[in-house]
Structure formats: C-alpha cells, structure tokens
Amino acid sequence: MNAVVRQRLASQLLTDRSARSPIEVAERLLAVQAQDFRGAQLAVRARSEGLRAGDLARALTDDRSMIVTTLNRGTLHLVRREDYPWLLALTAPTVRTANARRLAQEGVTPTAAERAIVVIVRALGAQGPLGRDALRSLVAAAGVQTRGQALAHILLLAALRGLIVRGPLAGDRPAFVLTRDWLGEMPPVDRDVALRELARRYLVGHGPADARDLAKWSGLPLRDVRAGLRSIGPDLVERGDGLVELAGAPRPSGVPDPRLLGPFDPVLLGWRSRDDIVGTHHGIVTSNGVFRPFALVDGRAVATWSWRAGRVTLAPFVAINDEAVAALASEAEDVRRYVDDDPDRGAADRDERRA
C-alpha cells in the first residue's frame, strides 16, 4: 500500500475507527453518499466502534442533528444539519440546469413543475413527514406526470430550492419534510467563507488530494475549488507529488484491519481515481453507476459481499489469506450486530433479495 492510500484511509477513519457517533463520521467526511441509504448506514458502521443502525435513525428522527438531501453532484448525501445550508448554497446551482433538462425530457413542463412544488409544500406543511409514494399520489392527483424519473426530478427541484430535505425514517428510508419546519430558518451564506470551509473540511476527510479531486467530489467548477484552496493556503502542505494536505494532519499508525464496506462507500467516491483501491477489478466492484458492497484487505478491494437472510456472503475475486478470512468473519458478525438494532432490517432483507 503506497503512502497516499495509507494517509487517505486514515483520513477516512478506516485506520483507527475512532468515531463514537454518526455525527462524528459526517463531520470527518463532510458528506456521506446516501442514494442507497443502507450504504450510508454501513459507512457509519465501518468508521465507528460500538454503534448500531438505530443510532443513525435517532440522529435523523429524534435529534434532527443529521439529514439526507441532494448536494454534491446532484446526489443524495448524509450530512450534519449545520453543514446543510452552506453546502446547498455552493452545490445546488451546478445541478439546476441538468435538473431542468431532465424534467423536460420526462415531460414535465415548468408550469407543471411549479404546480407539483406547491402541492408538495402544502402537503408536507399540513401533514408532516411523507414518503415518496404518498407524494407521488398527491402530485399525480394534481395532473402532473410522475412516471419514470419525473417525480424524482420534481423532488430534486424542491430540494435544490431548499424547500425540502429528508429527515425522519419512514420504513427503510428517510421521509420528506419541509426544511423550515424541520430545521428552522437557514442562516445566510457567504460564498467565499463557504468555499474556504469546503476546502478545509474536504482535506480533513480526504487528504492528501488536489483541486481536481475536490472538483470531482463536490461537482463544483475547478475555478471555485481552486479559490477555496488558495484561501487556506497558509494551512496547506504542498507535497512533491502535486497533492496537498492540511498542516499537522495526523500520520496513520498502521494499515486498516480487513473491513466490510457497504454500497457506494465514500472511499470509492472521494477522488478522481479509485484505481488504488479496486485495481483491475472495476467491473466487479462498480458497473453502470452501481457501487457494490466490498471487502477491503490491506487497502485493496478483494471481494464483493451481500446480505441475505441475516447472513453475509463473500464473493472473493482474489486470493484471501486465512488471517484476513477470519477477520472478515468477525466483520460479518459486527454487521449483524449493527443491523440487529434496526427495526427495518426485514424490509432491507427483502429489498436485497429482490435486487
């Protein structure tokens, strides 16, 4: 394992597993990919010690300290509530053009989209948290197209405007709520301050990296992320390989123990290239936009895995030594322990079998 990978895995909390709450994981990584909510749950498990799935559920539902919403690259992410306003202000503008184009492709005119937004806001204001199916029925009843990806892009439009977020769990995924009702009034955002915070926080959870890595992860133009990095220039260490890291970044004490990582794990999504992790096995771990659960041994992907009927099943694509096999068996038991606290585990199992 080269020094860059070793340091990045440490930045990702995959070396010392020191987080003691879901909030600590989100604070370190800034935003955890969550279009597959089980992936976000398992990302928290792999970077913490002693937590259960219910801890994340309570943060989303009871404490309101975390939310899921569309941010970087127009993709769902799990974030702390205090990071939501400035991340939305930075990243939403880059997604709006694509959102308008997709709505048109799905047969939703601007007038129809506005009518749908009114219906959604009124329903959430009157009834509180609602799931996607309930909102689909209401929007369809208003005469707006919801087939295909139409509803997804209508909901995306409402999220990009800061009107809705996903907070409390309803079944096996977060339900939609009005932002103002769930989180209160949002503070004003200074774009320069936000870019500075983005650069610093990204490097905390992903360093060492460069501007192109940050642009890839955030979806922002290079000029913006370069401005953010310049603004924290005195705090940066420029390495000989062209990457930068924060001055005083802790050195990794060792290599990560073998780890079972979930679908869409952040370690595959934080930089321009994932070659150091997956090597020549891209088509096995990732294909057609799907990022499968995989086993990490000595900093490399060595197997995919699945969760069925309460059991972890490994599918190795390289040889795994006996010591790593035993460690992954312990990891499988920890996955079971973690999800056993999740009242929706049965629904997740059914989803996995259908997949």
Half-sphere exposure of 253 (CA within 13 A, CB side): 7
Q: Is 281 helix (H, G, I), strand (E, B) or coil?
A: coil
Average pLDDT, the chain: 93
For the stretch 287-317, pLDDT in tens is 989 999 999 999 999 999 999 888 999 999 9
Q: Give 341's pLDDT tier (boundaries 50, 70, 90).
A: low
> What is the mean pLDDT of the segment spanning 4-23?
94
Q: Is 321 helix (H, G, I), strand (E, B) or coil?
A: coil
pLDDT at 229: 98
pLDDT at 347: 39
Q: pTM of the entire structure?
A: 0.92
For the stretch 275-293, pLDDT in tens is 999 999 999 999 989 999 9
Residues making up the chain, counted from first to last: 355
Whether the per-residue pLDDT at 342 is higher than 60: the answer is: no
Which of 73, 31, 21, 8 lies closest to 220, judged by CA?
73
Q: Give 173's pLDDT tier (boundaries 50, 70, 90).
A: confident
Q: Give 351's pLDDT tier (boundaries 50, 70, 90).
A: very low
Per-residue tokens: 348: 């997740």
Strands lying side by side in the sheet with 66-70: 32-33, 76-80, 66-70, 164-170, 173-178
145-152 LR contacts (CB < 8 Å, sep 24+): 145/106, 145/107, 145/108, 145/112, 147/106, 148/106, 149/102, 149/106, 150/103, 150/106, 150/107, 150/108
pLDDT at 163: 98
For the stretch 59-96, pLDDT in tens is 999 999 999 999 999 999 999 999 999 999 999 999 99
pLDDT at 255: 84
For the stretch 208-262, pLDDT in tens is 999 999 999 999 999 999 999 999 999 999 998 999 999 988 888 778 899 999 9
Lowest mean pLDDT among 203-207, 259-263, 350-354: 350-354
Cα–Cα distance, 120 to 130 (Å, whole number): 9
For the stretch 15-59, pLDDT in tens is 988 899 999 999 999 999 999 999 999 999 999 999 999 999 999
Q: Is 246 helix (H, G, I), strand (E, B) or coil?
A: strand
Per-residue tokens: 131: 């799931």
Contact 236, 245 (CB under 8 A): yes
> What is the mean pLDDT of the segment spanning 111-124?
98
Strands 286-287 and 290-291: antiparallel
Contact 26, 80 (CB under 8 A): yes
Q: In the chain, pLDDT over 70 holds for what percent of residues?
A: 96
Cα–Cα distance, 154 to 132 (Å, whole number): 11
